[in-house]
A and B are shown apart, each in its own frame.
Chain A
Amino acid sequence: MTTQQAVASRAVRSRLFWPVITLVALFALNVIVSPSFLSIRVHDGHLFGSIIDILRNGSPTLLVALGMTLVIATRGIDLSVGAVVAISGALACSIIAGSPDPGSVNTVLVAIGVALAFSLILGVWNGLLVSVFGIQPIIATLILMTAGRGIAMLITEGQIITVSSPAYKVIGGGYWLGLPASIIIAGAMFLIVGLLTRRTALGMLIESVGINPTASRLAGVRARSITWTVYVFSAFCAGVAGIMISSNVTAADANNAGLWIEMDAILAVVIGGTSLMGGRYSLTGTLVGAFIIQTLTTTVYTVGIAPEITLVFKALVVIAVCLLQSPAMQERLRKRRATTTTTAKAAA
């Protein structure tokens, strides 16, 4: 086998192969429909273009998916992220709207601080139910998913709170260094998590908890603290995403903010090749997955299909990805590969 072939076969076997191909195919489709898709313009020192839009609109999903990846790696799931997004946005906006000086940086910082602190508390709550009380993750986070929107409604008193604070607007709609601020925030969090989990043993410990919590505890891993931490981190990510979303639309809508975002996040994680059975995860995969979902949404817009029908496409993608990942299908593919190699050898 030549080196080229070796590289090619390694690429095909990589878990990122199919996600990347999907992304490239989506890009190609977009370029065919609107040739200016890939172009990036500089206007007033800011970057503009479809790709930048996709990255910016996908930032909240990427953030939530980042937390979700680690939760799923411990064989858990966090259904409450949508509710946390709504609560965090509602808190931040109501503090800013209620302050005498909504435009000042101090008010905005206090609002963000309170929103993030409350998100952390919600994460501690989820983690407590899962790691100490031993409740199944789906059920434990279902409680906050049910009650959370009620809490968000309570904070906003059932109204959509609009804020007019230029300082707050920067987070979701502003620019830093020529790039949308939300991309920088999401990118920075991605890098930090990547470095923390892949340059230290943390990632491996998370995976070991996902494979077998009891065995890893017996081996000296603090399984309970690790499980607890990933839920806190997931809620934190959702909190940041909530601030980003409410800042982008300069309003907090307790009913609709972050609606279905838990589904998008889970989808991004699954598309990225992280197994829902826990034990292994790929942050790069999640990045590609989030990118695919946002591109899919944008594609539906550019092709001119009613945006609401995106859900059908997402459903088809989930089904296709899950079927391809399923043990039954993997087994079948492996068998086919085995037979082709044997026939190839026999022919040689």
Chain B
Amino acid sequence: MTTTLPPIAPLSSRSRLARFIPSSRYTSVLVTLVLLVAMFGVGSARYRGFASGQVVMNLFIDNAFLIVLAVGMTFVILTGGIDLSVGAVVALSTMMAASLLRDGWNPAAVIVVVLVATSGLGLLVGLVIHYFDIQPFIATLAAMFLARGLCYVISLDSISITNPFFVSLAQTRIPLADRLSITPSVIIAVVVVAIAFVVLHFTRTGRTVYAIGDGGQSAHLMGLPVVRTKVLVYVISGFCSGIAGILFSLYTLSGYSLTAVGMELDAIAAVVIGGTLLTGGYGFVLGSLLGVLVLGVIQTIISFEGTLSSWWTRIVVGGLLLLFIILQRLLTARQR
């Protein structure tokens, strides 16, 4: 594994304490993995039927869109930015898809139009951030307002999707083994994660993403295409939001302006819980996948518990977020 990873800044002056930690590069991802296994173990011990393969598969089925969203967010956060517009862009994608399908468009054309539009919005955001030197937070906030507003421009009401191709895609179950099945969405999500993994760890673009997060100035001096990559991560995030939006419209078979409110927070939380440093330059896309699964397990446990109300999810996610942010502070403090 070690050979496949990009050269992250060498840990030259490690303190005596840090020597006892095997490889601090993986520590936070390992913590996430341990947490995931532990939570799943607790769930299996407490509830009958929890430790089944289909429960695991359902984690993927119910969170396919969030996985894709978290992948895009990982790229942005690795460069030290943030994208607050993803939830609104997901809603916009579902609205665009639903309204175009209602007008009798070809499903393939709809998907292409949605992806081009969301990538275009990402490009616009990236250009504004770079050329006007506006904080990513504010630029993506404006994009969020814009996308939500455009949803309402398309329609104030929910539009249901009745297109035969979309409906059949939504109902398809791909059998894996005995009483185990997944949806096409899961395959798309897994493919997106795989592509992101390859791009981040085996290509020049991936190295540049990490280098920008470590410090844009030095990356620039190294002759890396900083500007292009900085803009590119927002295009990637927009593109991923578009895919997530299509997956979400398959999941709900409708388009609605108020869907995915707060989904950007879930995506950011998944990335942070997955061990990616919010200041950039450090983290793994597979960690973000684990982060989404952790959020999924929390939800599953709460639904198995039955007596717990669903709003506990938000409180637990907030608590986990705090835990991981403090953990990251400790780990980075130790490295320096």
Contact = CB atoms under 8 A, between A and B. Distances in A.
Interface of A: 77, 129, 133-136, 138-140, 142-151, 153-154, 157-158, 254, 259, 263, 266, 270, 276, 306, 308-316, 318-319, 322-323, 326-329
A142 B309 CA distance: 22
A147 B132 contact: no
A122 B266 CA distance: 21
A143 B325 contact: yes
Contacts of A323: 128, 132, 134
A143 B148 contact: no
Nearest to B317: A146
A328 B145 contact: no
A148 B265 CA distance: 12
Contact of A134 (B132, B315, B318, B329): B329
7 contacts: A146-B265, A150-B313, A259-B261, A263-B144, A308-B149, A318-B141, A323-B132
B176 interface: no
Contacts of B146: 311-312, 315-316, 319
A311 B145 contact: yes
Given A147-B318, A312-B146, A322-B139, A142 B265 contact: yes
A182 B143 CA distance: 32
Contacts of A259: 261
Nearest to A262: B141
B323 to A, nearest CB: 10
B156 A306 contact: yes
Given A143-B318, A143-B325, A153 B311 contact: yes
A148 B148 CA distance: 22
Given A136-B279, A149-B311, A328-B132, 11 more contacts: A133-B329, A144-B318, A147-B321, A150-B313, A154-B311, A276-B135, A276-B138, A308-B149, A312-B149, A316-B146, A326-B133
A150 B278 contact: no
A82 B319 CA distance: 18
Contact of B142 (A133, A153, A315): A315
B322 A143 contact: yes
Contacts of B134: 322-323, 326
Contact of B149 (A151, A266, A270, A309): A309
B326 A133 contact: yes
